Structure 1
């Protein structure tokens, strides 16, 4: 499986705005987190997932979601291509990152908030955790 964007939309009338992603299924979701990076540390990187799929939705502000396909969990190549998708509160889309990838979350604005929907039960998180230094792959290009 490859990363993908599940596009939603917005509906606006005299009552306000509704944002939606109707093609997203909560069938395999086990838990969720709301991520708010600090202004001093706007990049949360790199966390890999052998078993967990991640789904990201921007609630406020904007983010860059960077990801790499891991070739070797113990010693991944530093030359792996980094892909990036930008999300904002106005996009109404979910970025799906399947198992086998590491990701980095970069806030682009103060007070940005991102929901992360996870597919792995909390009891299995220890066997899934793969972390790499924040500068392991260059995201500033």
Structure 2
């Protein structure tokens, strides 16, 4: 599987706005939380999961997300190819990140909030990998 955006949308009328994502299937979700970086200069990188999948959606502001598929979890090559995505709260787009990827998350504006959904409960498995911010070239 490869990461992909599941497109949402927004409808506005005299009553206000309604954002939706009719193509996102949340059946696998067991846990949700929200990330708010301290500033738009801070980069939260590189964290990932060999088994767990994640889904990201910007619920305020916008984010630049970079993903890398890991070739060897014990000693990954520092030159692996990056995939780049942007999420904006103006539409309820959802970025699906399958198992096997690490992510880098940067808010593009102050006050941005990222909804994170996972398919395993907290403590259900030991599957968290972290690499230093400058590890991947």
Same fold flag (TM > 0.5): yes
Are the counterparts in 2 of residues 29 and 120 from structure 1 also a CA contact under 8 Å?
yes
Cα deviation, 1:13-62, whole Å, max 9, x if unaligned, reads: 10001011111111110111100000176211111101111100001111
Are the counterparts in 1 of residues 20 and 91 from structure 2 also a CA contact under 8 Å?
no
Q: 3-state SS of the aligned residue for 1:124?
A: coil
Q: Given the two structures, how large is their TM-score scaled by the length of structure 1?
A: 0.92
Give distance in 2, aligned partners of 1:59 and 1:13: 20
Q: Given the two structures, how large is their TM-score scaled by the length of structure 2?
A: 0.95
Partner of 1:128: 127
Q: How does 1:1-141 map to 2 (within 5 A)?
A: 1-39=1-39, 42-125=42-125, 127-138=126-137
Q: 3-state SS of the aligned residue for 2:123?
A: helix
Aligned residues: 137
Q: Unaligned regions of 5+ residues in structure 1, if any?
A: none
Q: CA deviation at 1:74?
A: 0.7
Q: 3-state SS of the aligned residue for 1:123?
A: coil
Q: CA deviation at 1:137?
A: 2.0
Are the counterparts in 1 of residues 40 and 109 from structure 2 also a CA contact under 8 Å?
no
Q: Unaligned regions of 5+ residues in structure 2, if any?
A: none
